[in-house]
Chain A
Amino acid sequence: MIEFVALLVQTSVAVALAPGVVGFIRWLKARLQGRRGAAPWQPYFELRKLFGKEVVVSRTASWIFHAAPFIVFGTSVVVASLVPMAVVTVVADRSGDLFAAVYLLLFGTFFLALAGLDTGSPFGGMGASREMTVVALTEPTVALAIVALALGAGSTNLGDIVIRGVLEPARVPGPSYLLAFAALFIVTLAETGRLPVDNPSTHLELTMIHEAMVLEYSGPYLALVEWGHAVKLLVFFSLLVNLFVPWGIALSLAPLALLGGLVAFVVKLAVLSVAVAVLETRVAKLRLFRVPELLSASFILALLAVMTSFLVR
């Protein structure tokens, strides 16, 4: 029971923290580019503003358009509950593994793409088509990264992988882990719509992917989509930091361990956010038809990761 409460608290904190991570990266990018930038908590103001506005829905749209924001948000929250962040809980760990997490995120994307087509706007269709292309091409990399991790840990369940990493620290910085980390990092950029795959701060119709798909959303619906997207970003960041650098995560519910886990998690997130912000100020967006090349590079990295983990066993 206490584990269940811990899980609920962890998930709620993660969902509440997610817009802050997005704001932090934006603020950092602005500083790196020599601008003053909005404060890191700006996304919270935006969410409050959007929740206070009315919803405008296209006459062409069907119930899919109304359902999609809830599905996007709901699946992101459920995945956030599966991923160990500050503490590993057995409840979450047994109900879904990495494959389940990946396919749950696909569930949200599937409905968001349908919603993009639902209004009949050409921009929505364009975004839906591009988003599904990128997502489909990331799937093999994700699956192979899972295999590489599972071979090392003997399980596809997230908690098992993390615990194995904590208990046997010598395993973690091995070559297969590093290769899988590089592969999953590229996937993170693609799945969460960051540079160089998609530009989260542009609204130019012809280049955007994610923003084109959600162009018709407004008010609380838009707030849910944006928030869900932020949670998805946090989920991918947590996977990167906790699967590959599991040190510091709490394995029990003792208060001191929990505190240590939380501090370690925030520090690791901050480091990764800085890395992403620096990367985003250094690279330009790729042309859409160059993106598959980047993704096939990540696939090769993941393939090498699996083969290496066969060799070093």
Chain B
Amino acid sequence: MTPSALALGLMVAGYAAGGGLGLAARTGRAARSVTAAGGIAGSLGALALAISVLVTGVPFDLALPGALAAVGGILLRLDALGAFFLAVVALVGLPASLYGWAYTAGHDGRGGLGFLGLMFNLFLLGMSVVPCAGNVFTFVAAWEAMAVTSYFLVMTGADHEDTRRAGLWYIAMTHLGLVMLLPMFFAMAPGPDQTSFADLRAGAAALSAGGRSGVFLLALAAFGSKAGIVPLHVWLPRAHPAAPSHVSALMSGVMIKLGIYGVLRVALDLLGGGPVWWGGLLLALGSLSALLGVLYALMEHDLKRLLAYHSVENVGIIFIGLGAGFTLQSYGLRALATFGFVAALYHTLNHACFKGLLFLGAGNVVHQTHTRNMEELGGLIKRMPQTALLFLVGSAAIAALPPLNGFASEWMVFQALLAGARIPRPEMAVGVPIAVGMLALASGLAAACFVKAFGISFLALPRSEHAARAQEAPWPMRASMWMLAAACVALGLGASVVVPALSQVLRGIDDLGAGLGGVPPPGLLVHGPAGIGQMSPLLIAGALAAALLISVLAVRAVRRGSPRAADTWGCGRIQQTARMEYTASAFAEPLRRVFAALYRPTADITVRLHPESRFVVRSLTYRSEVEPWFEKALYDPILRAARWTSRSVRRLQAGSVHLYLLYVATALIVALLSVWWVK
């Protein structure tokens, strides 16, 4: 038995035992404990397996052809690319399991905890097997297990109308993706029994150019809907916030990344890259997602929905990196293309860490205040100091502030785009600047959005009783956040070591193998492609620390006495209340005006006057909503068509047995005729 096989055994056994024992456990506390223990053990196994493959560079194979032989059997093949994504799953899976142990304590004594534990562990198992899959059957089975278990996890709060609707959107969109997935795989399969990825690679090479592009488009639709790329993102801001927070962290941090994995596996590994418009399409979709995701996040006052919209933004940034990679590859610039793909992988890893951290932080807030509405929060930094600090680290990372990890990977995406400018083509002269502008606008708006998210939720005076009574979350919830925050800092400071390591992930890709020679060795500096730019987060952090230390010591030396506490200045008012504070809506108001053409806000003002004088106002209500109109414009016709079709089909079901016999006979004749015709 090799160490890798042991690690795989630990992974499967951990998740399976955690799930099974969780279901079997009698009391709530026992169910929670075994669920968490199983999740942690399984994640450790997955991490060990991923590391062993990444370090040795030897793919791990395991074939169980006997099991379910009719559909191709179970085949596992974990190469470096898969191992990277397996590591991402485990890196967030471990803290999320620990977090869930304390977070679900509120369910003690109520039913459903065992089922929740089973689904949680099976969800983790499904996500871990997806990157290990070596043939179509294993992949699709794991993919479907991941989708179905996460559907049940979303439906944990099914007593809310919104949750049920979110679940419906989710299950519909995810199966729409599955419908695309199967023809995509079978178009590549060279023969009926040849469904391993190696066979598909050979089959894809034999396809015509049009066939390859068809496969690419199907893959983009199938995996893009899972990744939450605009316009297939509609389920994401509905379903992610509805789930329990540790599940939201996994869905936003990890599950959507497997969509990225799918795009890389099919388009880069199996198809081996393609014409330049593939990259251009990815760039366009990525830029659109990055900008629209952050713009809708700005208008959102539900803390978890805000984070979910930011996942759309960050998937957009990852797609921009992928688009740059594919574009450069199509021009034969392999070293530069590798840099683009590494930028995308790096941002994938970083987003998993900071989005996981932020969702867990939002979970602490929800756990204590029982509300996700930012307008009812405030002042939590005094009541939950650690949660506030950790949420701030996540906010700074997602806002791309140096020297944290979000900055390092966004810097690389910028450099990859700049490398695209080396191609002297008119489409590049237009496409590259627009992508750079949209990415920069998205990152500036993300900073504004997280000033809002952190400032309104955690600072100033509490805006409701719930927020005023909040207390620090229990230690497992804080500990799991500490782990992810440490990862954010380490991935940022260690960028110059992480980047060369990540480029090794791509060594299994034949077409890029030659480009790896251009990757600089680990050192103090992060290099842009072919020396177009250098920077060192570590040196920046050092300089910043020195400047801070000197200024603190200098101010200590000159200032007189310690700070005096006083009231906030208020133009002569007597007492400061929370109602005087700026609200989240007010904070976002200038940007709502600037982008009014996109938001098309509706305002509804009702003024009730005093019956005797029209100059005395009794009450005033103001409602304003932002409707994502393009979602409506896009999906309403589809929904209407589906409804119309189902109404029309209903006529077939008249209830008469004779009619049904006629259908059976017709179907039989059509089937026989088509067999004869095919022969």
Question: What is A's interface to B at a CB cutoff of 8 Å?
Answer: 51-60, 62-64, 66, 70-71, 73-75, 77-78, 81, 94-97, 99-100, 103-104, 106-107, 109-110, 113-114, 117-122, 124-126, 128-130, 132-133, 135-140, 142-144, 147, 150-151, 154-157, 215-216, 219-220, 224, 288-289, 292, 299, 302-303, 306-307, 310-311, 313
Residues on the A chain within 8 Å of B540, using CB: 78, 95-96, 100, 104
Task: Decide: A128 and B548 in contact? CB cutoff 8 A.
Answer: no
Task: Decide: B424 and A313 in contact? CB cutoff 8 A.
Answer: yes
Task: Decide: B533 and A70 in contact? CB cutoff 8 A.
Answer: no
Give the nearest-CB partner of B563 in chain A. A55
Task: Decide: A132 and B448 in contact? CB cutoff 8 A.
Answer: yes
A-B contact pairs, 10 of them (CB 8 A): A51-B559, A95-B539, A97-B533, A117-B581, A117-B582, A120-B459, A125-B586, A132-B452, A137-B444, A303-B437
B620, CB-defined interface residue at 8 Å: no
**How close is A67's CB to chain B, nearest CB, in angstroms?**
9
Residues on the B chain within 8 Å of A75, using CB: 544, 547
Residues on the B chain within 8 Å of A81, using CB: 543
A104 to B124, CA, bound (A): 38
Interface-forming stretch among B340-348, B414-422, B670-678?
A: B414-422
**How close is A280's CB to chain B, nearest CB, in angstroms?**
23
Residues on the B chain within 8 Å of A154, using CB: 532
B445-465 residues with Cβ-Cβ distance < 8 A to A are: 445, 447-448, 450-452, 454-456, 459-461
Task: Decide: B547 and A147 in contact? CB cutoff 8 A.
Answer: no
Interface-forming stretch among B37-45, B77-85, B550-558?
A: B550-558
Task: Decide: A94 and B451 in contact? CB cutoff 8 A.
Answer: no
Interface-forming stretch among B94-102, B220-228, B352-360, B590-598?
A: B590-598
Residues on the B chain within 8 Å of A58, using CB: 565-568
A103 to B379, CA, bound (A): 28
Residues on the A chain within 8 Å of B185, using CB: none
**How close is B679's CB to chain A, nearest CB, in angstroms?**
58
Residues on the A chain within 8 Å of B582, using CB: 117, 122, 124-126, 128-129
A5 to B440, CA, bound (A): 35
Task: Decide: A135 and B534 in contact? CB cutoff 8 A.
Answer: no
Give the nearest-CB partner of A142 in chain B. B440
A142 to B563, CA, bound (A): 38
Task: Decide: A136 and B444 in contact? CB cutoff 8 A.
Answer: yes
Task: Decide: A129 and B589 in contact? CB cutoff 8 A.
Answer: yes
B409-436 residues with Cβ-Cβ distance < 8 A to A are: 411, 414-415, 418, 421, 424, 428-430, 432-434, 436
B182, CB-defined interface residue at 8 Å: no
Task: Decide: B455 and A311 in contact? CB cutoff 8 A.
Answer: no
A74 to B456, CA, bound (A): 25
Given A100-B540, A220-B559, A303-B437, A132 and B451 touching (CB < 8 A)?
yes
A118 to B461, CA, bound (A): 9
Contact pick for A144, options B382, B440, B534, CB 8 Å: B440
Residues on the B chain within 8 Å of A55, using CB: 559, 562-564
Residues on the A chain within 8 Å of B534, using CB: 94, 97, 157
Give the nearest-CB partner of A51 in chain B. B558
B381, CB-defined interface residue at 8 Å: yes
Given A54-B560, A71-B548, A288-B590, A59 and B567 touching (CB < 8 A)?
yes
Task: Decide: A118 and B455 in contact? CB cutoff 8 A.
Answer: yes
Interface-forming stretch among B396-404, B483-491, B655-663?
A: B396-404
Task: Decide: B594 and A143 in contact? CB cutoff 8 A.
Answer: no
B210, CB-defined interface residue at 8 Å: no
Task: Decide: A292 and B594 in contact? CB cutoff 8 A.
Answer: yes
A118 to B392, CA, bound (A): 13
Residues on the B chain within 8 Å of A132, using CB: 447-448, 451-452
Residues on the A chain within 8 Å of B580, using CB: 120-122
Residues on the A chain within 8 Å of B434, using CB: 303
Residues on the A chain within 8 Å of B589, using CB: 129
List 18 extra interface pairs beyond A114-B454, A135-B444, A219-B559, CB under 8 A. Answer: A51-B555, A55-B562, A56-B563, A56-B566, A58-B566, A64-B459, A70-B548, A73-B547, A129-B586, A139-B444, A143-B437, A156-B415, A156-B532, A220-B558, A224-B555, A289-B590, A310-B428, A313-B424
Task: Decide: A147 and B587 in contact? CB cutoff 8 A.
Answer: no
- Is chain A's binding surface mostly helix, strand, loop or mixed? helix
Residues on the A chain within 8 Å of B591, using CB: 133, 136
**How close is B408's CB to chain A, nearest CB, in angstroms?**
10
Task: Decide: A121 and B569 in contact? CB cutoff 8 A.
Answer: yes
Task: Decide: B590 and A299 in contact? CB cutoff 8 A.
Answer: no
Residues on the A chain within 8 Å of B539, using CB: 94-96
B516, CB-defined interface residue at 8 Å: no
Given A142-B440, A311-B429, A135 and B525 touching (CB < 8 A)?
no
Residues on the A chain within 8 Å of B438, using CB: 140
Given A120-B460, A136-B447, A110 and B432 touching (CB < 8 A)?
no
Task: Decide: B544 and A59 in contact? CB cutoff 8 A.
Answer: no
Residues on the B chain within 8 Å of A299, using CB: 437
Residues on the A chain within 8 Å of B379, using CB: 60
- Is chain B's binding surface mostly helix, strand, loop or mixed? helix
Task: Decide: A307 and B429 in contact? CB cutoff 8 A.
Answer: yes
B441, CB-defined interface residue at 8 Å: yes
Task: Decide: A78 and B547 in contact? CB cutoff 8 A.
Answer: yes
Give the nearest-CB partner of B428 in chain A. A310
**How close is A101's CB to chain B, nearest CB, in angstroms?**
9
Task: Decide: B447 and A289 in contact? CB cutoff 8 A.
Answer: no
A95 to B540, CA, bound (A): 7
Residues on the A chain within 8 Å of B461, using CB: 60, 120
Given A144-B437, A156-B528, A54 and B547 touching (CB < 8 A)?
no
B439, CB-defined interface residue at 8 Å: yes
Top 10 A-B residue pairs of the complex, sorted by shortest distance between their CB atoms = A125-B582, A139-B444, A143-B440, A136-B444, A117-B455, A120-B460, A310-B429, A95-B539, A132-B448, A156-B533
B578, CB-defined interface residue at 8 Å: yes
Residues on the B chain within 8 Å of A62, using CB: 381-382, 388, 459
Give the nearest-CB partner of A223 in chain B. B555
B407, CB-defined interface residue at 8 Å: yes
Task: Decide: A103 and B407 in contact? CB cutoff 8 A.
Answer: yes
Given A110-B399, A155-B533, A289-B593, A118 and B421 touching (CB < 8 A)?
no
Task: Decide: B402 and A104 in contact? CB cutoff 8 A.
Answer: yes
Residues on the A chain within 8 Å of B594, using CB: 133, 137, 289, 292
Task: Decide: A151 and B533 in contact? CB cutoff 8 A.
Answer: no
A119 to B429, CA, bound (A): 47
Task: Decide: B414 and A99 in contact? CB cutoff 8 A.
Answer: yes
Task: Decide: B437 and A96 in contact? CB cutoff 8 A.
Answer: no
A51 to B451, CA, bound (A): 29
**How close is B421's CB to chain A, nearest CB, in angstroms?**
6
Residues on the A chain within 8 Å of B563, using CB: 54-57, 66
**How close is B355's CB to chain A, nearest CB, in angstroms?**
18
Task: Decide: B566 and A128 in contact? CB cutoff 8 A.
Answer: no
Give the nearest-CB partner of A95 in chain B. B539
Task: Decide: A140 and B441 in contact? CB cutoff 8 A.
Answer: yes
A53 to B560, CA, bound (A): 7
Residues on the B chain within 8 Å of A155, using CB: 531-533
Residues on the B chain within 8 Å of A147, using CB: 418, 421, 432-433, 436
Task: Decide: B535 and A54 in contact? CB cutoff 8 A.
Answer: no
Give the nearest-CB partner of B382 in chain A. A62
Task: Decide: A78 and B586 in contact? CB cutoff 8 A.
Answer: no
B387, CB-defined interface residue at 8 Å: no
Task: Decide: A144 and B451 in contact? CB cutoff 8 A.
Answer: no
B666, CB-defined interface residue at 8 Å: no
Task: Decide: A78 and B543 in contact? CB cutoff 8 A.
Answer: yes
A157 to B560, CA, bound (A): 42
**How close is A161's CB to chain B, nearest CB, in angstroms?**
11
**How close is A76's CB to chain B, nearest CB, in angstroms?**
9
Contact pick for A57, options B396, B564, B581, CB 8 Å: B564
Residues on the B chain within 8 Å of A113, using CB: 451, 455
A78 to B549, CA, bound (A): 12
**How close is A157's CB to chain B, nearest CB, in angstroms?**
6
Task: Decide: A54 and B444 in contact? CB cutoff 8 A.
Answer: no
Given A52-B558, A55-B559, A147-B418, A306 and B433 touching (CB < 8 A)?
yes
A56 to B560, CA, bound (A): 11
